[in-house]
Amino acid sequence: MSRNEIILILVTALYFIAGTMSSVFVNVYLYAFTGSLYAMTAYSMIRFSLFPLGFYLGGKLSRTWTLSRILTTGLIIIIAALALLLSINSFFVRQPLLIYSLAFIFGTGEGLFWFSINNLNLSVSSKESLPHFIGTLGITNSSAMVIAPFIASLIVKYASSDLSGYIRIFQIVIIVQMISAFLSTKIKLDKVVSAYTLKDKWNLKLDHQWRYIMISHFLLGVRDSLTLVLTGLLIYNATGGQGSLYGQLLTGFALINVAANFVASRIIKRHNRIHMYILGAIILFSSTVILVMVPNMIGAIYFGVSNAIGNPFFINPFSIIMMNAISDYSSNENINARMIMKELALDLGRVL
């Protein structure tokens, strides 16, 4: 792999370590203050609705900035949001609306981050190296997701209380994100200066491939909303609100996910990609249905195991198919517009 690919894998892995620790425990931490799944859903709606704004800003900045600089900026905003969470958490009980202000900052920073990551994934790899690159990303990211809950569960276990443990987690996350931000400055790519327009990308009638990309991302967003917003809290409730047990469960699920990613990277080929995609979708469908219908420890364990197994067989083919489809446009146009629009479709699904 190239130097840029290796650095990008390291940056993404560190982000997943920090992101897994923070996103899961930010939701649990804020849930401890609100005590309401409705409030947490509203928080997530605001956060997701800011992703397209981050992509739009990223597209504007890409005319004068490199993608690595935009990536660094997104990480700095995320760090600022975590620092703000630590500094104002004592006011959450009296002013619960402050929680929603965090959603604006997190959403914008994450939008910039994912705009640059999605573009960099295409820019640093070729169609020939993409399957290997995506497979390696899956293995390293799932490995990072083993480390994150394991460390987090130990921190919560030995803290004086769950809440003080969550605060210590956020402090460590800030350090990891700072390392990731530093590494992101080492990615060397020329900036894309060609103009683009969003207006014509709204028309889905003439280009069946673009219509497929947009509809697929919209439906993925609908599915994403459950896993990103509620399933973590449902598992947390199934543990009886025990933060350390919650972290141990996530560690076990992540270990299974590492093994599944390794298997997926070996058996998913061009000729069977669609079959693996369908298999992964069926497994993931069953996992969420069981968790919602059986919201206890049995349902939580079934969800975690089946989701860990099914996810690489669904996400890896989906990523390869979509990235290949979008890269088809790169020879004739600046694909930033398509990146912005497919993110809008994804987040419309999430918010809906």
- Report the pLDDT value the prediction gives residue 350, as an integer from 0 to 100: 87
Which of 24-33, 261-270, 310-319 tops mean pLDDT? 310-319
Q: What is the rounded distance in angstroms from the CA atom of residue 198 to the CA atom of residue 340? A: 8
| Nearest 10 degrees: Cα torsion 155, 158, 160, 166 | 10
Q: Does residue 193 register a pLDDT over 80?
A: no
Q: Does residue 181 register a pLDDT over 80?
A: yes
Q: Does residue 250 register a pLDDT over 80?
A: no
Contact 193, 318 (CB under 8 A): no
Task: Output the CA–CA distances (angstroms, integers) from residue 314 to 220, 232, 286, 309, 310, in the order listed.
Answer: 11, 20, 13, 10, 6
DSSP 191: P
Average pLDDT, the chain: 83
Q: What is the rounded distance in angstroms from the CA atom of residue 349 to the CA atom of residue 102? A: 21
- Nearest Cα to 190, choosing from 323, 7, 65, 60? 65
| 188 CB-contact burial (10 Å; exposed 0-12 / middle 13-18 / buried 19+) | exposed
Q: What is the rounded distance in angstroms from the CA atom of residue 322 to the CA atom of residue 121? A: 12
Q: What is the pLDDT of residues 264-307, one digit of tens each?
A: 888 888 888 899 999 999 999 998 888 778 878 888 889 889 98
The dihedral region occupied by 314, where left means phi > 0, alpha psi between -120 and 50, and beta the remainder, is alpha
Percent of the chain scored above 90 by pLDDT?
19
* Residue ranges in the chain assigned as alpha helix (H): 3-34, 37-49, 51-61, 67-88, 98-124, 130-158, 162-184, 208-225, 231-238, 243-267, 273-293, 297-327, 336-351
Q: What does the buried/exposed string (b/e) look like for 208-235 if buried means 16 or more CB atoms within 10 Å of the residue's CB?
A: eebeebbebbbebbebbbebbbbbbbbb
Q: What is the rounded distance in angstroms from the CA atom of residue 90 to the CA atom of residue 207? A: 52
- Report the pLDDT value the prediction gives residue 336, as an integer from 0 to 100: 83
For residue 267, how far is the Cα from the chain centroid? 24
Q: What is the pLDDT of residues 48-70, one digit of tens each?
A: 889 888 988 988 888 888 889 99
DSSP 36: -
- Report the pLDDT value the prediction gives residue 179, as an integer from 0 to 100: 94
| 203 CB-contact burial (10 Å; exposed 0-12 / middle 13-18 / buried 19+) | exposed
Tokens of 118: 């999605």
Q: What is the rounded distance in angstroms from the CA atom of residue 28 to the CA atom of residue 99? A: 13
- Report the pLDDT value the prediction gives residue 253, as an integer from 0 to 100: 84
Mean pLDDT of 169-176: 87
- Nearest Cα to 276, choosing from 224, 312, 326? 312
DSSP 63: T
Q: Model's pTM, two decimal places? A: 0.75
55 or 137: which carries more pLDDT confidence? 55
Task: Output the CA–CA distances (angstroms, integers) from residue 303 to 36, 231, 240, in the order listed.
Answer: 22, 9, 17
